[in-house]
Each structure stands twice: as C-alpha cells, then as structure tokens.
Structure 1
Amino acid sequence: MKGITKTIVNGDVDEDILKGITLSLEKGEITALVGASGSGKSTLLTIAAGLQSTTEGVIHFEGAEMTGMNQEQLRALRAKSFGFVFQSAHLVPFLTVEEQLSLMLGVAEIKLKKIEQEDVIDEMLEAVGMRHRRNAYPSSLSGGERQRVAVARAIIHQPDILFADEPTASLDSSKSKEVMALIRALTKAKGITTLMVTHDQEMLPFVDRTIAMQDGLI
C-alpha cells in the first residue's frame, strides 16, 4: 500500500480518515493495527482487503495493482486469495459446521472430489477442535466455538492473506487467547500473512509486528 488516503464527505465538510499510509506486509507475518477508536485502523484494513476504495494511492498484491481492478476482479481475488474473520462469526444460521466450510470451498472454486473435500474438512475441523461438532448449527455453539468455526472457514481454502477485524472482541479473556493462539498456529503452519485490527493489548504477544495508528496516520 502506497500513499493511501481516504476522505469522506460529512455534510459540508470533507473528513480525512486516512492521510497517506504506506505499508507493506511480509509473507507469513502477523501484523496488528492498534490505536484509539476513529484512528483509521478498520478503514485501512477494509481498503487493503479490497472492500472499499481509496481516495488516492495504490495497492499492489502479488504484482497486480488492486486499485485498478473492477468489482468482479476484486470479488474473485477476495474469494480465492483472502480470508476474513470479524468480531462476529457471521456464520450462516441454517448450515451446519461442516456445511459452512464446504460453502467456502465452493466460493473459492476449490475443485475437489467428494472424498478429498471430506478429508480437507476433517483436517480443518480437527485443527480447530471442532470435529465433534461438525453436524451442529450455529445456534447451538458457544461464542468461542463460533469463532473457531469462523477461523476454520476463513483459512480452509488456504488464502494468501487473512484479514481479521477485532476477531476476539466478543469473547472473554480466556477464550480470546485460545482463538488468537489458534489463529497464530494455523497461519504460521500454512504460511498465511495476517493483518489484524485489535484494541486488546493481551493479543499483542501473539503477533510479530504492531503498528500504532493515530488520526489517520501511522
């Protein structure tokens, strides 16, 4: 990301959310964005993920300029190369745990034979400690279990980058550390780069690099 700015019109006033951010992510590294509410952390993350546009600046990913892509190209990039975990798990209420992961493989257009897909799902559920809950629906899961499934869904297609926006904010301290340890272990094992927004200082020992933001600047 180079020279990233974001300005929104608030009535008659132009509000500068980001004021010229230049940042590179290293492969396999876990980077945390920290700062007060309104500092621009989540805006920067969503721009990096192609979920909203910049006002100025360019973003390059794997040699391609994301800022020059149309919406269909961005959608395809997000589906195949990015994973997402948010504060709320956002699981599909009428799908079982196993079906949540199967759906993600379909979205990412991962072509597997049935038995191969079952093996991939089995391995991922085992990794997040949810194999025994494979046939459960989200309504019967605890908050920590839902976030475990959300993590599994986010990385089952082995994305290049995991974007995590306050992934532990809805959990208590113990469950937060469990989920963060899980994110670290799985992304390190698979070489996935992670960009995370957090306000929780207890999550910082799990990351490789911390970037503080204030008033739209690093």
Structure 2
Amino acid sequence: MTIFTIDEVKKSFTNGELKEEILKGVNLSLREGELTALVGASGSGKSTLLTIAAGLQPASDGKVIFEGKNMTTMNSEQVRKIRASKFGFVFQFAHLVPFLTVEEQLMLMLDVSESKIRKREQNKEIDKILKLVEMDHRKNAYPSSLSGGEKQRVAIARAIIHKPKVLFADEPTASLDSKRSKDVMLLIRDLTKTLNITTLMVTHDEEMLSFADHIIKMSDGQVLPSLT
C-alpha cells in the first residue's frame, strides 16, 4: 500500500537576483514495508528531497501526501506532531546524548515523541527493540564506550522505539567501515520488513544499493527513470 506520495515537488532559493532551482517537479511514491534508496551526485537534490518529505523544510511548490493528508497545507505545529510521532530519523552520525545510557537514550525519545506506549510498558518495549538491534547487552553503557557501529545501532533503535510509520535515513553508513556499513544496512532492511516501516534512504555508496527494494537516481533536481 502506498503511504507516501511526492507530487510535482519543487524547491528553489533566491540568491540576490538569481533563482536557483534545487528540485524541478519531483514525483515519487513510497510503499509500506519497502526500502527506497535515493542516489545521485552531490547537489543532485536527494538530501533536499528527503528533508522536504520529512517535514524539515517546506517545498516551494507541489504536494507531500502522507497517509492521505497533504502536509504542504498544514501549519508548522501539525507538521511537527506528524514528524514527532510518525517519523523516525537516522543520520550519518549517531548524535547520541553523551551523558545518557543506551536505555536512557530510548526513554528520552519516547518522551519527545509523545509516545502512546504506557509508562509501565516502556521498559519492556525498550528491551524488545534493543534485542532487535542486538544491543540489549549494552543497555547500561554510555556512548563513550561504544564503537561506531554500536552507536549507529543505538541511533536506529532510538529512531524506531516510538513505532514510526516512516524511517528517514540520510547517509546512515557514511561514517562506518565496509563491514559495519553492511551490518547496519542489513539491520535497516530487516527492520523495514519486520516492522512494516516505509524507509527512504539517501546514500552515495553503491554497495549499499543491493539492500534496497527500489533505487531512485537523481540528477540536477530531477528523478531519472527507475533503476529497479
């Protein structure tokens, strides 16, 4: 089932008297339980498209439809609520809070996302998610004692603890070596299927494309014919 539709989305910036077009009428549909990879050269517009889809910045024109609702006509508070409760985010760097344990990182996310998981069930849910990402044995550890791959696993757990509908991943393996990159991508792919999440990922690493259900190549602000 299609959960996300990007319809003729455009993005432009004005620099003095010059108008720079970043996105030139992009169309894209995302389905539940599928991982879509956005690839393209630097400046192709892939990260801009991801941030617009995620409600982190507005489009100049076009529509972003999520669960049948047009996010581009919503006010900032309505978009914030969707972003907090329905979306999860993983970036190049884990950005863990240095003075919180692994368990506390996830507890904080449950508070921030205004999760509907009952307080008495939160610890059980945290244990479940940490086991899924194979970090349950490190629940009391602080970020300073974790490897790069472990930090990214915790970041993924934090991104899905509130049971989002969509996971946005912006270069999630860029800071990792080849083996850890493949481990993290395998985890993201498996969680996409197991939890029926819609995942949109930006990557420049062609080795990671084999994990995707769909590959969308972008060039000069436009989507090229589908590779898969």
Match of 2:46 in 1: 41
| Residue of structure 2 equivalent to 1:152 | 157
Tell me which residue corresponds to 1:20.
25
Question: 47-56 or 8-17, which moves further after superposition?
Answer: 8-17
Asked if 1:106 is matched to 2:111, the reply is: yes
Aligned AA (2:219): Q
Structure 1 unaligned segments of length 5 or more: list them: none
Once the 2 structures are TM-superposed, how far is the Cα of residue 68 of structure 1 from its aligned partner? 0.8
Partner of 1:142: 147
One-letter code of the match for 2:71? M
Deviation, structure 1 residue 78: 0.6
What SS class does the counterpart of residue 98 from structure 1 fall into? helix
Match of 1:175 in 2: 180
1:199 matched to 2:174: no
Query: Which of residues 182, 189, 196 is equivalent to 2:194?
Result: 189
Query: Residue 123 of structure 2 aligns with which residue?
Result: 118
Q: TM-score, normalised by structure 1?
A: 0.97
SS in 1 for 2:140: coil
Which whole-Å CA distance do the structure 1 matches of 2:29 and 2:118 have between them? 37
In the alignment, the residues of structure 2 paired with residue 114 and residue 70 of structure 1 have an alpha-carbon distance, to the nearest angstrom, of 30
Gap runs ≥5 in structure 2: 1-5, 224-228
One-letter code aligned to 2:69 = A
**Residue 72 in structure 1 maps to residue 77 in structure 2:** yes
The structural deviation recorded for 1:108 is: 2.0
CA distance in 1, matches of 2:117, 2:218: 42
Superposed displacement of residue 70, structure 1: 1.1
- Which AA in structure 2 matches 1:197? V
Partner letter of residue 73 of structure 1? Q
Cα offset for 1:114? 4.2
Specify the alignment match of 2:3 in structure 1.
none
Range with bigger deviation, 12-21 or 40-49: 12-21
Structure 1 residue matching 2:31: 3-state secondary structure: coil
Structure 1 equivalent of residue 37 of structure 2: 32
Per the alignment, in what secondary structure is the counterpart of residue 24 of structure 2?
strand
Hey, which bits of structure 1, 4+ residues long, moved more than 3 A?
A: 111-115
The equivalent residue for 2:90 is 85
Query: Match of 1:53?
Result: 58
- The one-letter amino acid paired with 1:5 is K
1:14-44 Cα deviation digits (max 9, x unpaired): 1100000011111111000000000000000
Query: Please, what TM-score do these two structures have when normalized by structure 2?
Result: 0.93
- How many residues are paired up? 218
Q: Which one of the candidate residues 163, 171, 177 is aligned to 2:168?
A: 163
